[in-house]
A and B are shown apart, each in its own frame.
Chain A
């Protein structure tokens, strides 16, 4: 699919980023454990009802599969790179989706325990991923376009445009998830109502509404939807940076805001 859309060069960048970022993310997760030297117990005792167990497998498999994919891609072995790409795609989705399930299964916290959480997390992960790709693609174009013939420049600009449109689509979906989550929680039980009032619109209201949703979703979407700003690489760069910050703030609000209301 990626080759058909002339996304070959971006696919290589993306795969390298995956290997770098996901290998380092594993270390962040391990050091976050209070007993980091026991991390290998996660492989030894697999609990199928725990999403952290699923995540352990996915998070290990994803960089390995992507490594094989990029190996075949650089070798020029199109058939095997396509096969590895197809295998790594489900692991890519699950590696982003499982965090949503980790939060969704924590039934004590009403802010997390919603059916929309996995999709919401997946969607925001797509935004931050595409935003990072967009930043890299823009920088790559800026630093290399002088040495390239016009056709290759056209392809590069086409890729940047395509990534921007995808990012806008995911951000619109994200705003829809936020809207449906807040409104349904507002019509839900006492705990959910209090969480909306005290966390989403209360203590974390400024961060959540302004920084995450207005600056992180609505403004970049508008930048991409208007033709004049979409043509400007600087504006697209700003949009991608805002989207990344917005996703980071969304994670902060969800994780800390979810534990804000006391339980006892």
Chain B
């Protein structure tokens, strides 16, 4: 077992939704317009006077068992010994399969080169002994990056003390971006796309109605 396993903890109790992480990432990686390596999903829930805004910084989860690596036909997607999942730009053929297969929707096609890009935990900074750009930019210290195999690192202490969870656990990818205080509504993909109070308020209607509507759309 490798001695280093990089991971990230996102303390959502501290996140203020300032989008500094997204902007720092854009600047660090020169991400083109229209695509993001990391972004902050924002939803509002409830109605006046009891209303909350929820934030969810979203990035590559650097899975232990990444589906993108499994399905890449040319081994362009690979995982380093220290757990960072990367894309080899000299090998990617741009087939888009990893983008379609990733449950976290973190991969995008670079508009100019046509190759797949995604968050790489700022591997060039990490290898130089620095923290990723988003972590350095976070004004409230909501992002904690470190080696989870080192019991004395800050992230290990946080992980052993706090109640953490991961996104989309059911896909068996064993993601390594942990969230503290994750709300089920902000984690729900359909929230934010439709006006709704809670994810239980906007579930699709009864099947018989849907079936009637799709079978007899002219009625």
- Which of B95, B113, B170, B214 is within 8 Å of A202, CB to CB? B214
Q: Mark A89-121, 1 if CB is under 8 A from B, else 0.
A: 000000000000010011111000000000000
27 contacts between A and B (CB under 8 A): A33-B93, A34-B93, A34-B96, A35-B94, A41-B74, A45-B74, A49-B70, A50-B71, A50-B73, A51-B71, A105-B67, A107-B67, A108-B104, A109-B101, A194-B203, A197-B204, A197-B205, A198-B204, A201-B213, A201-B214, A202-B204, A205-B214, A206-B217, A258-B100, A259-B100, A263-B102, A263-B189
Chain A 198-218 per-residue mask, 1 if CB under 8 angstroms from chain B, else 0: 100110011011100000000
As a 0/1 sequence over residues 195 to 219 of chain B, the CB contacts with chain A under 8 angstroms (1 = contact) are 0000000011101001101110100
Q: Are A56 and B73 in contact (CB under 8 A)?
A: yes
How many chain B residues sit at the interface, stated as a range, is 35 or more
Main secondary structure of the interface of A (DSSP, over half): helix
Query: Is B181 at the interface (CB under 8 A from chain A)?
Result: no
Residues of A within 8 A of B190 (CB): 194, 261-262
Query: Across the interface, do B73 and A189 meet the contact criterion of CB distance under 8 Å?
Result: no
Task: Sort chain A's interface into a size bin.
Answer: 35 or more
Contact status B41-A264, CB under 8 Å:
yes
How far is it, in angstroms, between the C-alpha of A209 and the C-alpha of B217 when the chains are bound? 11
B74 adjacent to A42 (CB under 8 Å): yes
- The CA of A261 and the CA of B211, in the complex, are separated in Å by 18
**How far does the Cβ of A186 sit from chain B's closest Cβ, in whole Å?**
7
Bound CA span A53–B75, Å: 10
Convert B167-194 into 0s and 1s, putting 1 for each residue whose CB lies closer than 8 angstroms to a CB of A.
0001100000000000000000110010
Is B166's CB within 8 Å of the partner chain A? Answer: no
| A262:B73 contact, CB within 8 angstroms | no
Q: Are A34 and B115 in contact (CB under 8 A)?
A: yes
Please tell me if the beta carbons of B204 and A264 are within 8 angstroms of each other in the complex: no
Contact A262 B105 (CB under 8 A): yes
Task: Contact check, B93 vs A35: say whether CB atoms are below 8 A apart.
Answer: yes
Name the interface residues of A30-60: CB closer than 8 Å to any CB of B.
Answer: 32-35, 38-39, 41-42, 44-45, 47, 49-53, 56
* A108 pairs with B67, CB closer than 8 A: yes
Closest to A194 in B: B204
Chain A residues whose C-beta falls within 8 Å of the C-beta of B41 in the assembled complex = 264
Q: Is the CB of A45 within 8 A of B217?
A: no
Contact call A108/B73, Cβ cutoff below 8 A: no
With CB as the reference atom, state the residue of chain B lying closest to A205. B214
Bound-state Cα–Cα, A149 to B193, Å: 67
* CA distance in complex: A53, B95 (Å): 12
Query: Do residues B115 and A209 form an inter-chain contact, with CB atoms below 8 A?
Result: no
Q: Enumerate chain A residues within 8 angstroms of B158, measured Cβ to Cβ.
A: none
Residues of A with C-beta under 8 A to B213: 201, 205
- Mostly helix, strand, loop or mixed at chain B's interface? loop
| In the bound complex, CA of A215 to CA of B28 (Å) | 53
Q: Please, how many angstroms separate the alpha-carbon atoms of A223 and B113 in the complex?
A: 50
In the docked arrangement, what's the CA distance between A50 and B77, Å?
Answer: 12
Name B73-132 residues within 8 Å CB distance of A.
73-75, 91-97, 100-106, 109, 113-115
Greatest chain A CB density within 10 A among B75, B170, B205 is at B75
- Asked whether, in the complex, the Cβ of B207 is within 8 Å of the Cβ of A186, the reply is yes
A110: min CB distance to chain B, Å: 10
Q: What 13 additional pairs, Cβ within 8 angstroms, besides A34-B114, A47-B74?
A: A35-B93, A35-B94, A39-B93, A49-B70, A50-B72, A106-B71, A106-B97, A108-B104, A108-B171, A193-B204, A209-B214, A263-B103, A264-B106
Give the chain B neighbours of A35 by CB distance below 8 A.
92-94, 113-115
List residues of chain B with CB within 8 A of the CB of A261: 189-190
User: In the assembly, what is the distance between CA of A101 and CA of B214, in Å?
Assistant: 28
Report the Cα distance A67→B101, complex, angstroms.
Answer: 35
Cβ-closest chain B residue relative to A102:
B97
Output the least CB separation between B7 and chain A (Å): 20
B58 within 8 A of A: yes
Among A52, A198, A208, A258, the residue within 8 A (CB) of B73 is A52
Q: Which residues of A contact B204 (CB under 8 A)?
A: 193-194, 197-198, 202
B176 to chain A, nearest CB (A): 17
**Inside 8 A of A262's CB, which chain B residues have their CB?**
105, 189-190, 193
Interchain CB contact (< 8 A) of A47 among B72, B104, B109, B203: B72
**Chain A residues within 8 Å of B170, by CB:** 189
Q: A149 CB to closest chain B CB, in angstroms? A: 50
